[in-house]
C-alpha cells in the first residue's frame, strides 16, 4: 500500500541551528515528492518538489530536501533555522494510480526557539 | 496572496442549516480541489474537478455537495452536517498539463464549526 510517514509530531530547534524534518514514503514506481508548509491560520504553501534528476532539491525560504531512493526518504532541511520558520510541515507523494491524488503525511510541527 | 480566495474564512452552523463555501482562483488553472483538514491527520481529498467535470469523489457523505460552474469557481454546499464535520476546508487548484508533477495552490481555508 502507498503511504507517507512523518515520524515526528513535533521538532524543536534553537534559532540558528540546522533543522531536519523527516519524511519516508512507500510507493511502487518512481515517486513524485512534495513538501508544503502551513503557517498559523493559513492555507498550505508549496515549498519544493522532487520529480527527477538531482537528489538535492532547493526550494523556497532557504529550504532544501534530499531524495534518498534506497532509504525511501525525502527529509526537509535548512542550514540555519529562523523563528519565522515555525509552522506545520507536510510531506506528500503522488498517488501512482491517480492524476489528482496526493498521499499526505500527518504533518510535523516545527518550533524554532529564539 | 496565493491567487486562490476562499469565503467565508469562518463559519458556524447548526446541524439543520444549509450553507455554502466558495472558492475562486485567478491563476488560469483548470483543476480545482476540496480538501478537509483535521488536526493531526493527513489531508483528506474530497472532490476534484478538471475542466468543470468531477473526476474524483472520495466516498464523501452526500451532506457535502460540490459545484463547479466554471473553471474559476468552486463551491461546497453543506446540509445537515454533523459535529464531526467541524474542520478546516481547503480549496486548491493546479495548472493545466502539470497535474501529476505540478504543485497545488491552496486558499487560506474556511474554518467550519458545526454545533
Chain B residue with the nearest C-alpha to that of A32: B101
B97 pLDDT above the threshold of 70: no
What average pLDDT does chain A have?
Answer: 94
The pLDDT score that the predictor gives to residue B24 is 97
pLDDT at A7: 96
What is the average per-residue pLDDT within B2-8?
A: 93
Among partner residues A9, A43, A103, which is closest to B90 by beta-carbon distance?
A43
Is the per-residue pLDDT at A92 higher than 70?
Answer: yes
Nearest CA distance, B14 vs chain A (angstrom): 23
Reply yes or no on whether the pLDDT at B62 is more than 80. yes
Q: Which residue, among A98, A50, A39, A111, has the nearest Cα to B109 in the 3D structure? A: A39
Question: Look-up: residue for cell 540558528?
Answer: A16
Distance from CA of A38 to the nearest CA of B (A): 9
| CB pairs A-B closer than 8 Å | 61
Whether residue B104 and residue A46 make contact (CB cut-off 8 A), yes or no, is yes
User: Among candidates B104, B38, B85, B9, which has minimal Cα distance to A107?
Assistant: B38
Where residue B46 falls among pLDDT bands split at 50, 70, 90? very high
Give the pLDDT score at B90. 97
B1 pLDDT band, cuts 50/70/90, is low
DSSP H helical segments within A12-111, as ranges?
none
Query: So what's the pLDDT on residue B100?
Result: 78
> Percent of chain A at pLDDT above 90?
82
pLDDT at position B17 is 87
pLDDT per residue over A27-79, tens digit each? Answer: 988 899 999 999 998 899 999 999 989 999 999 999 999 999 999 999 999 99
DSSP A84: G
| pLDDT value of position B53 | 83
Spell out where chain A has E strands: 3-5, 10-14, 19-21, 24-26, 33-38, 44-50, 56-58, 64-68, 73-78, 87-94, 102-104, 108-113
Instruction: Report the pLDDT averaged over residues B91-113.
Output: 88
Closest Cβ–Cβ partner in A42, A44, A106 for B42: A106
pLDDT band at A25, cuts 50/70/90? very high
Q: If you average pLDDT over residues B7-11, what whole number do you get?
A: 96
Least confident of A5-9, B11-15, B106-110: B11-15
**Pick the residue with more confidence: B39 or A87?**
A87
Amino acid at each position: 500500500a502507498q503511504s507517507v510517514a512523518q515520524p515526528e509530531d513535533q521538532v524543536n530547534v534553537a534559532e540558528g541551528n540546522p533543522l531536519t524534518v523527516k519524511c519516508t514514503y512507500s510507493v511502487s514506481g518512481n515517486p513524485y515528492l512534495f513538501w508544503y508548509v502551513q503557517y498559523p491560520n493559513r492555507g498550505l504553501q508549496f515549498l519544493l518538489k522532487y520529480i527527477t534528476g538531482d537528489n538535492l532539491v532547493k526550494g523556497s525560504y532557504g529550504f532544501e530536501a534530499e531524495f534518498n531512493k534506497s532509504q525511501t526518504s525525502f527529509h526537509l532541511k535548512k542550514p540555519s533555522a529562523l523563528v519565522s520558520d515555525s509552522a506545520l510541515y507536510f510531506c506528500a507523494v503522488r498517488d501512482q494510480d491517480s492524476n489528482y491524488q496526493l498521499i499526505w503525511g500527518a504533518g510535523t510541527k516545527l518550533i524554532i526557539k529564539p | 496572496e496565493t491567487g486562490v480566495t476562499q469565503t467565508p474564512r469562518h463559519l458556524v452552523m447548526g446541524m439543520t442549516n444549509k450553507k455554502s463555501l466558495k472558492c475562486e482562483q485567478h491563476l488560469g488553472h483548470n483543476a480545482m480541489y476540496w480538501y478537509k483538514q483535521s488536526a493531526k491527520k493527513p489531508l483528506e481529498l474530497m472532490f476534484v474537478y478538471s475542466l468543470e467535470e468531477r473526476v474524483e469523489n472520495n466516498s464523501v457523505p452526500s451532506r457535502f455537495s460540490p459545484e463547479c460552474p466554471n473553471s474559476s469557481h468552486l463551491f461546497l454546499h453543506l446540509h445537515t452536517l454533523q459535529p464531526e464535520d467541524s474542520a478546516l476546508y481547503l480549496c486548491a487548484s493546479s495548472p493545466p498539463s502539470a497535474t501529476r508533477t505540478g504543485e497545488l495552490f491552496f486558499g487560506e481555508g474556511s474554518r467550519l464549526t458545526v454545533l
